[in-house]
Structure formats: structure tokens, C-alpha cells
Amino acid sequence: MAGRLLYLASAAFAQYTAAVTLDSLTTHHVDPNSVSVSGFSSGGFMAAQLGVAYSELFKAGFGVFAGGPYDCGRDQDFTTCLFNGTPSIEKPLVNMRSWSGHQIDCLCNLKQRKIYIQAGTADDVVGLGITTLLEDQLSHFALPSNVRFVTSDGAAHAMPTDVDGQGNSPCDESTLPYIANCGYDGAGEVLKWFYGERLKPRGQGPLSGDIFSFPQIGMLGAPGLAETAFVYVPKKCQHGRRAVCRLHVALHGCGMHFEQIGDKFLVNTGYNLWADTNEMIVLYPQTTVDNGTYPTWSGNLSNSNACFDWIGQYGESDWKIGDHMRAIVNMVKTIIGRHSKPGSSIRHSTLPFDEEL
Ligand SMILES: *[C@@H]1O[C@H](CO)[C@@H](O)[C@H](O)[C@H]1NC(C)=O
Ligand SMILES: *[C@@H]1O[C@H](CO)[C@@H](O)[C@H](O)[C@H]1NC(C)=O
């Protein structure tokens, strides 16, 4: 079919570490109203940025595991937004209101968005007080009934799950790979918050589909992003099938990129098991170590820990034009087939629900 790239290998491919490689990211039948994002730590800060700045695109909502307020690092040193700091959200709130409908999408959209926030009570990297300030900030724009704030007793800085994944960290220690069995299915809970009772129970594995790798280059790339990223596509959502699928973006934290921890974020978090039974595609953008020095809002810094950018390192990080946000959004638009960039080989979907952005 014109504009749709064929998969290069069969669905029988099961090894994550040898993910099937795509020549480029592929368009799928996706309901544009189903797009959501969640992330952990710097990926959590990024999920909040995407949910706020691109609220027209992330219509199903956004989830933040151990992340802080939007625009936290611009007018105060970013380290104030970490550890047990007490950042101010006054200037960020003023900024949000002045940018609404310009540098960022209209804040009015947030009234309709589902928002999920999770924090560990023993997290000393992004403390409970900081996640609470994110909730305070968003409460100015969101409906209280649409916001869910969850605390995990005794949990340190870790993406919480309810299974023992290979190589996981202990729940009460803030250490790589920052994924831990805390007796709480974070991926499942955030997805249930977005999609509600319509979700079927998670799969038990093995997965029906494949984790595909694709080049995170050109309009899908940016400094600080790796050359390769991943997407899980359940069998029912693969090329030629009729299912209309959902799309979720899952963002890892600093040091949790594929080059550092391998497939642990792709596998141990459990997103794919939920995706498998619920016709959901999961996009996993990837960072990389960038030892170059860049001016940020907090002075000249490198990105030696491979973080998603919320400190003004790669352009205006929390505006729509921020390098990392723009690349991730281009991936989303490519998957849903509504990329309008001139010269793109991706054609628009012809499904009846599709309309131009
Ligand atoms: C970045 O710097 C660290 C520490 O000097 C070094 O170990 C690493 O290899 C460098 N990585 C890259 C990609 O340049
Ligand atoms: C940051 O780096 C630039 C050059 O890249 C330099 O001109 C500037 O003085 C540096 N700023 C600080 C605060 O070190």
C-alpha cells in the first residue's frame, strides 16, 4: 500500500534485544483521540511538558511517575526541582498563562484531560513534595475528578511494577535500572486511568506482536536522542489488520536508555502486556549520552546521564518548539499518519475518523 512501509520480518520474532528493525517508523490505524503519554523521572517531567504544551495531541491524557512541575527549571536552578527541594510554581503559572495558545497549546484543553501522578514516599531523587507541587500547579487548569494522585508507601525512586523483572532494583533503593517490584502495577494503573473500564485485563505473555526498532533520525531525531528507538506493535495492530488501535508513549528516566539498561524499560515495566490485550501501540523514544556542553537555563551543562530535556538544554525545552518534544511529537504524528511536513513520505490515513490537525 502506498505510503505504508512493510514490516521486514515476521511476527514470530520474539527476542526484544534483537528487535525487528524498520527502515523508518510506520503509519498505523490509530484513533487520534486515544493518544496518551506517561514517563518516569526526567521522562515524567517530559510527559508533563508534552501533556501541557501539546494538549491538543495527547487527548487521552498524561501520566507522571516521580516527576515535577511543568516549566520548573526555567526561572530557578533545576536542582531546586529535584531531591527534597521546594521549587516555586508562581512564575511557571504566570508563564503558562502567557504562553497558552501560542508557545503551547491552549490550557483550556486540560479541563478535558485525564492526569495521573505517582510518587514514592521514600523517593530522595524527585521527592514527594515536588510531585505534590505538580498536582498543585495542574489543579489550576484540570478538573479535580480527572486528576489521580497516588503515593507508594516506602517506595524509592523507581518505576513501580508488581512483578519481579530480571535485573530490577529493590523498591526501597534509588538505583539503576530504577524499575522495581513495589507491589503496584504502575503501567496498568496509568493506562486504566486514561482508558478506564474499557481496558481488558493485561496479557500474561508471550506477546502477540513485536518490538520494532526504528531510526530516530531526521525529523524524529534531536541532540541527546539516540539513533535508535523502539515501538511495540501488537499483532492486531500490525500492517494490513483492520483493528483501530490506541497509542501510548512511554518515556524512560535518566540513565535508563536502551544503551545503558538494554530492554529493561521496554520489558520490565509491563506496558506491552497491557498493550497486547488492548490493541495499543507503545512508543519508546530513547535518549543517549551527550557529553557536549550546552547553555541551559541553569548554566552550561552536558547531558552525560542521557536525560529527556526539561532544563533548557536543547532549545526552549518546554515550548512546542523544544527539540525533544518536537521529535517525539513527530514520531506520534508519523504513527497516526497525519504528518503534514512537506516532503514526508507518510501519507494521510483514509480512515473515517481521521481529520487534519
Ligand atoms: C562521555 O563521558 C564519559 C566520562 O568521561 C565517558 O565515559 C563516555 O564514554 C563519554 N560518552 C560519549 C558518548 O562520548
Ligand atoms: C557557557 O559557554 C559559553 C560558550 O559555549 C561561554 O561563552 C559562557 O561564558 C559559558 N557560561 C558560563 C556561565 O560558564
Confidence class for position 341, pLDDT limits 50, 70, 90: very low
Q: In this predicted model, what pLDDT tens digit does every residue of 45-59 receive, in sequence order? A: 999 999 999 999 999
DSSP string, 220-264: G--TTB-SEEEEEE-GGGSTT----EEEEEEE--TT-SHHHHTTH
Binding site membership of 292 for ligand 2 (Cβ less than 6 Å): no
User: How many C-beta atoms surround the C-beta of residue 53 within 10 A?
Assistant: 27
Q: Is 157 a catalytic residue?
A: yes
Binding site membership of 93 for ligand 1 (Cβ less than 6 Å): no
Distance of CA 295 from the midpoint of ligand 2 (Å): 7
Q: Is the pLDDT of residue 325 over 70?
A: yes
Confidence class for position 6, pLDDT limits 50, 70, 90: very low
| pLDDT at position 22 | 85
Percentage of the chain beyond pLDDT 70 is 89
- pTM for the model stands at 0.91
Binding site membership of 288 for ligand 1 (Cβ less than 6 Å): no
Where is average pLDDT lowest: 20-24, 152-156, 214-218?
20-24
Question: Which atom belonging to ligand 2 lies closest to the Cα atom of 300?
Answer: 1
> Which cell numbers in the block locate residue 316?
526552549
Average pLDDT, integer, range 304-310: 98
| pLDDT at position 1 | 26
Q: Is the pLDDT of residue 353 over 70?
A: no
Distance of CA 298 from the midpoint of ligand 2 (Å): 11
| pLDDT at position 231 | 97
Of the residues 34, 36, 38, 41, which is catalytic?
41
Question: Which atom belonging to ligand 2 lies closest to the Cα atom of 293?
Answer: 5
Distance of CA 290 from the midpoint of ligand 1 (Å): 8
Q: Is 41 a catalytic residue?
A: yes
Average pLDDT, integer, range 248-269: 98
* For ligand 1, mutation pick of 293, 303, 304 (most atoms within 8 Å of CB): 304
Of the residues 28, 157, 257, 339, which is catalytic?
157
Distance of CA 304 from the midpoint of ligand 1 (Å): 7
Coil vs helix vs strand at 64: strand
Binding site membership of 293 for ligand 1 (Cβ less than 6 Å): no
Binding site membership of 295 for ligand 2 (Cβ less than 6 Å): yes
Distance of CA 221 from the midpoint of ligand 2 (Å): 25
Ligand lying closest to the C-alpha of residue 297: 2
Binding site membership of 305 for ligand 1 (Cβ less than 6 Å): no
Ligand lying closest to the C-alpha of residue 299: 2
Distance of CA 168 from the midpoint of ligand 2 (Å): 39
Binding site membership of 299 for ligand 2 (Cβ less than 6 Å): yes
| pLDDT at position 19 | 64
Per the prediction, the chain carries an average pLDDT of: 90
